[in-house]
Amino acid sequence: MSDVSIAISPLEGAKSGNVFVVKIAGQLDETNVDQESQKIYALITEHNSNLSMLFDLKDLTYMNSKSIGYLTDWYTKVTSGGGKLVITQCQDNVLDVLSVVGITNLISHFPSIDEAKAALLG
Amino acid sequence: MNASMTIPSDYQHLPKVRAFAYDFVRRLGAPEKVAHRTEFIAAELCSNAIEYGGGKGKIEIDLHADGKSITITCFNETSDSSVSTRLKEKFHADFDPIQKRGRGLFIIRRWVQEANFEDADGGIRISVVQSLSA
> Which ipTM value was assigned to this complex?
0.93
pLDDT at B100: 66
pTM: 0.94
pLDDT above 90 coverage of chain A, percent: 87
Neighbours of B26 (CB within 10 A): 16
User: Which residue spans within chain A are E strands per DSSP?
Assistant: 4-10, 19-28, 52-56, 60-63, 85-88, 109-110
Q: Measured between beta carbons, which residues in chain A are less than 8 angstroms from residue B37?
A: 96
Find the closest chain A residue to B101 by CA distance. A69
Q: How do residues B29-56 score in pLDDT, each as one tens digit?
A: 999 999 999 999 999 999 999 988 777 7
pLDDT at B81: 73
Q: Measured between beta carbons, which residues in chain B are less than 8 angstroms from residue A68?
A: 103
pLDDT above 90 coverage of chain B, percent: 68
* Type of residue numbered A31: T
Helices (H) and strands (E) counted in chain A, each on its own, are: 5, 6
User: How close B104 comes to chain A (CA, Å)?
Assistant: 5
Q: How do residues B67-116 score in pLDDT, each as one tens digit?
A: 899 999 999 988 777 778 888 888 888 877 666 677 899 999 999 999 99
pLDDT at B95: 75
Q: Measured between beta carbons, which residues in chain A are less than 8 angstroms from residue B15?
A: 2, 27, 29, 31
- Please list the ranges in chain A whose pLDDT falls under 50: none
